[in-house]
Structure 1
Amino acid sequence: MPDLVTPHQDLHSERGALRGEHPGRSRNPVIKAADLAWLEFEKPDLERAEVFARDFGFGVAARTPDALWLRGVFGGPPCMVIRAAPVSRFVGPVFRAAERADLARLARVTGTSVVPSDVPGGGEAVALLDPSGFPVRVAHCAEPLAALPGQRALTLNTGAAPRTRTAPRVDVTQRAPREPARVQRLGHVVLETRVFRRTLDWYLDTLGLIVSDFLFLDGQRERGPTMAFIRCDRGGVPADHHTLALHLGPGTGYVHSAYQVTDLDALAAGGEYLTERGYQRSWGIGRHIQGSQLFDYWRDPDRFMLEHFADGDLFTCDVEAGWAPMSGSGLAQWGPPVTRDFLGASPSPARLREVLRALRDDTELDPPRLLALLKAMNS
């Protein structure tokens, strides 16, 4: 086995990097984004979008005839904006700048401009384009949203506390209310790209993101990773295990986005609420390996996938990237088997066209990688 670059010490993955592999961070990024601010979508039916949003647990920060701004109960920027348009589509992510000066630096280095943003409370933004073709904005909000009352976490008798009147819960029953799992905040977005390495390096070099975990294809580690879970670099301040995840695939597009809720009971009771209203669960409930989150995935009426999650890992900048083989069974510690819907493995004419286009064009996907991807997702 080649020498390790750093002593990984099994911190969060079975393996660390080997000598000469991708370092998972940039030596001199343009800025260091503080977080994911919000996601931008377009949909033809804002009324239907708002009904699902409230059932999923969002609050409404602002509503106009042409736009719906959704929020969580935590203070800060909104989670999502949905603008009226003839066709449903994901537009792109918006990252939060730590300081207003970061926007000026980013605009100067990239040759763009700082322009006003229509976010509630006002603000400014810089518009960029990543190598996959996603519009990416970096914003600074003038007046962040104030916090709202949140969902109460249930008090748990874990069994370790003494059986006395000072136990956490005595003479009180436990009944999780059947209601939407109130969203606290936006956690992360997952994107598929046909130019994985170029896109990964762009986010590291431009926004200062750092990799928490790499996944590689079985038998092809020497060709580099095919998926990365990427977090914001806040120095010694803990950040979510991943704010952005990228994976190589035949398409270029949105995979899912994730929204934090209070705890497992809120996630499960909120899932029952969504089931009663006829929405489709894509996969869950379970606990992930990379990131450790409790998860539950749902499809909205426009077929976009959204995740409720709780109890995710938090890393400082000191944690090096882990390396692990990619597999369908490696996505969860426990829970039901991963579904074909979640993996996007159901063949369709559009998906077949994406595969043929990716194999024909100048992408990082070739027949051996495609076959290894298919094998990984079925393993």
Structure 2
Amino acid sequence: MGDPHSGLHSEQGAHRGEHPGRASDPVIKAHDLAWLEFTKPDLRKAEEFAAAFGFATALRTADELHLRGTDSGAPCVLIRKGPRERFLGPAFRAVDGRDVLRLANVAGTTVRPLPESVGGVSTTLVDPSGLPVKVVADMDELRALPAQTPLTINAGHGASRVNALQRPRREPARVQRLGHVVIQTTRYRETLDWYLRHLGLIVSDFLYYPGQRERGPVMSFIRCDRGDAPTDHHTLALTLGPANRYVHSAYQVADLDALAAGGEYLQDHGYRRSWGIGRHILGSQVFDYWRDPDGFLVEHFSDGDLFDCSLEPGWAPMTVSGLAQWGPRATKDFLGVGPAELIAVANGLREDNEFDLHRLRGMLKAAVS
């Protein structure tokens, strides 16, 4: 039997005339994803899950919760108390305040100071799908916290560990940092070009619906352009769909054992795994997906691919079997197959956007491929 993943690793390049995956003259080149912002009605419940997931609390007031990893820098997640759970948008870190000013001048926005609890400056743009996007710089730097140490592995015939036992503790997998966010948009191509032009992001991989490559891609895994310095395979992923929404966010942990033992801890405390454990194809991360108490999908990951600016985008068909090299089959919960999604499809088809009947057929074909 042949390899079922053959041809799915997105190692094929673009055809003539296809999207180049980068803007020729971007306004700035964002350095990283800084944090994500949410509103939630119950900050106590949010903090309890965050601790079990492996965050540390950087700030807690009656109306605000800041969550951080062990790495130095800004918090990973900012949560404000609100009447309902809602994703407010991402914040990208610029190299410095001059880039924030340059972007504001081009976009016609205002540079404002960030709250004293964070420090620095920001400007807020709105992408073509209507999502507010902050670009920030010069924040106060949180000092690094004690990190979870990766286990010493005797790989193959290597003998790195002698006269010592392997006993990973069943405890929260300590989050090191925010890795990426995935966003669904009804205006995929316009939104993609907006991020490439304004933030200087570059595409690592494109996906297209089976049999629809001539209509262009429907998903892209996008990284920061740091020149020769390697960066995550994707910091942002955009996918076409019937509604504009948050899909998931991902947080790096030390290694597979931290991820797996941390998953056992989450299960012991009554939290729900969505999908995992497995290893992705695009990005290669070891992954484990969980639902927080408000229904948001969050991921532990480790051992992801790192690319510099020299790699051109790969192209591959979007398929369920292309989601993982190994691990359990993707669940309906992870894929978003349920009544709410069917309603979103019906509503999306009635509106003027890129998600039409032809794209719906492509999505359904991908779901069973």
- The bucket for the TM-score relative to the shorter chain is over 0.9
Q: What are the within-5 Å matches in structure 2 for residues 3-152 of structure 1? A: 13-118=10-115, 120-152=117-149
The one of 336, 344, 347 equivalent to 2:336 is 344
Q: CA deviation at 1:119?
A: 6.3
Query: How far apart, CA to CA, are the structure 1 residues paired with 2:229 and 2:180?
Result: 18
Larger deviation, residues 13-22 vs 317-326: 13-22
CA-to-partner distance for each residue in 1:335-364, whole Å, 9 max, x for gaps? Answer: 00000100001233xx33322222121100
Residues 172-321 of structure 1 mapped to structure 2, 5 A cutoff: 172-321=164-313
Q: Figure out how many residues of one structure are paired with residues of the other and give that number.
A: 363
Shift of 1:278: 0.6
Question: What's 1:372 paired with?
Answer: 362
1:327 aligned to 2:311? no
Distance (whole Å) between structure 2 residues aligned to residue 259 and residue 172 of structure 1: 30
- Cα distance in structure 1, aligned partners of 2:9 and 2:343: 37
Q: Which piece of structure 1 moves more, 127-136 or 138-147?
A: 138-147
| Structure 1 residue identity aligned to 2:56 | G
Cα deviation 1:201-234 (Å, max 9, x = unaligned): 0000000000000000111100000000000000
Kept in 2: contact 1:61–1:120 (CA 8 A): no
Pick the aligned partner of 2:350 from 360, 367, 370. Answer: 360
Q: 1:159, CA displacement in angstroms?
A: 2.5
In structure 2, runs of 5+ residues without a counterpart are 1-6
Distance (whole Å) between structure 2 residues aligned to residue 331 and residue 352 of structure 1: 22
What are the superposed Cα offsets for residues 13-64 of structure 1, whole Å, 9 maximum, x if unpaired?
2311000000000001110000000000000000000000000000011111
Q: TM-score, normalised by structure 2?
A: 0.96
Amino acid at match of 1:319: L
C-alpha separation between the residues in 2 aligned to 1:372 and 1:119? Answer: 48
Moved more, 333-342 or 354-363: 354-363
Q: Give me the whole-angstrom Cα distance separating, in 1, the residues matched to 2:347 and 2:221.
A: 26
Aligned residue identity for 2:93: R
Tell me: CA distance 1:87–1:11, structure 2 relative to 1, closer, same or farther (3 Å).
closer
Tell me the SS of whatever aligns to 1:31: coil
Q: What is the deviation of 1:121? A: 4.1
Q: Distance in 1 between matches of 2:227 and 2:86?
A: 35
Structural RMSD (CA): 1.3
Q: Secondary structure at the match of 2:365?
A: helix
The amino acid of 2:204's aligned partner reads S
Q: What amino acid maps onto 1:79 in structure 2?
A: C
* Distance change >3 Å, CA 101–CA 269, structure 1 → 2: same
Structure-1 separation of matches of 2:11 and 2:282: 11
CA contact (8 A) 2:74 2:139 kept: no
What amino acid is the match of 2:199?
Answer: L
Q: Which amino acid aligns with 2:185?
A: T
The amino acid across from 2:160 in the alignment is P
Deviations 1:166-191 (A, max 9, x none): x3111111000110000000000000
In structure 2, the CA distance between the partners of 1:93 and 1:307, relative to structure 1 (3 Å rule), is same
Summarize the Cα distance change of 1:119–1:292 in structure 2 as closer, same or farther, 3 Å threshold. Answer: farther
| Counterpart-to-counterpart distance in 2, 1:318 and 1:83 | 39
Q: Which residue of 2 aligns with 1:5?
A: none
Question: Equivalent residue for 1:7?
Answer: none
More displaced stretch, 114-123 vs 178-187: 114-123
Distance (whole Å) between structure 1 residues aligned to residue 247 and residue 75 of structure 2: 20
Normalising by structure 1, report the TM-score: 0.94
Task: Quote the Cα distance in structure 1 between the aligned partners of 2:177 and 2:235.
Answer: 12
Q: Answer yes or no: is the 8 Å Cα contact 2:242–2:345 preserved in 1.
A: yes
| Contact 1:121 1:145 (8 Å CA) reproduced | no
Q: In the aligned structure 1, how far is the partner of 2:299 from the partner of 2:110?
A: 34
CA positional deviation for 1:77: 1.2
Q: Percent of aligned positions with the same letter in both sequences?
A: 64
SS in 1 for 2:339: coil
